[in-house]
Amino acid sequence: MSYPIYNCFHPILRKKAIEIDSFGGALSTFASEMLETMRSADGLGLAANQVGDRRSLVIVDEFAGGNSSKSSPIFLINPKITAFSETKQEYQEGCLSVPKFYQYINRPSDIDLEYQDLDGNLHKISAGNLLARIIQHEVDHLSGILFFDHLTSLKRVLSKSKLRRIEAGETDAHYNMINPDGTDNIVTDQ
């Protein structure tokens, strides 16, 4: 089953996530439904608040889309970035909560990360390039931060009309969405 995705202007996208301390079947079921949602919307990452759930859980998959046989989703529970490289990189980002809006964002190119898996085991990893990019974008969601918050003020001004249309629910997404006011925007004609 797949969930509708919340529009970036819905208040839940600005809430801080709640730490997960209970692992097991129900969490795994939710995680697999999130994965299905991410795949059917063609995303490379998804945070739980994007499907209306405030728990601290994201999925990242740098190989999603295109060649799906390489797909290797990682479920990150209670993720924390513990170090950022000084070297930064510009890369074009998009977000399933901000349909059809793409912007170059400058971020550290490498990170160290701690997270728990679906069984609660702690992992420490280093990531670079696209994976580091996706993780930073998704972990931002857990702090209520959206990728366009990182834009320069000039770029924000230039993006205003496009973001206003998204705020008005004119998203033209190919997947189901929840509008900023909580009404849905269910796609019937796929």
- Of the residues 33, 36, 90, 138, which is catalytic? 138
Identify the CA nearest to 81 among candidates 132, 30, 37.
132
Residue 57 touches Zn ion, criterion: CB under 5 A: no
Residues whose CB is less than 8 angstroms from the CB of residue 42 and which lie 6 or more positions away in sequence, other chains included = 64, 65, 174
Closer CB to Zn ion, 42 or 119, in the complex? 42
Closer CB to Zn ion, 119 or 155, in the complex? 155
Is 138 among the residues known to form the active site? yes
Give min distance, CB of 135 to Zn ion, in A. Answer: 12
Closer CB to Zn ion, 102 or 121, in the complex? 102
Single residue of 57, 76, 95, 131 touching Zn ion by CB under 5 A: 95
Q: Determine phi and psi for 135, rounding to 5 degrees.
A: -60, -45
Query: How many residues of this chain interact with Zn ion, rule: CB under 5 A?
Result: 1
Give min distance, CB of 8 to Zn ion, in A. Answer: 8
Residue 162 burial (CB < 10 Å; 0-12/13-18/19+)?
middle
User: 186's torsion region: left (phi>0), alpha (psi -120 to 50) or beta?
Assistant: beta
Binding site for Zn ion (CB under 5 A): 95
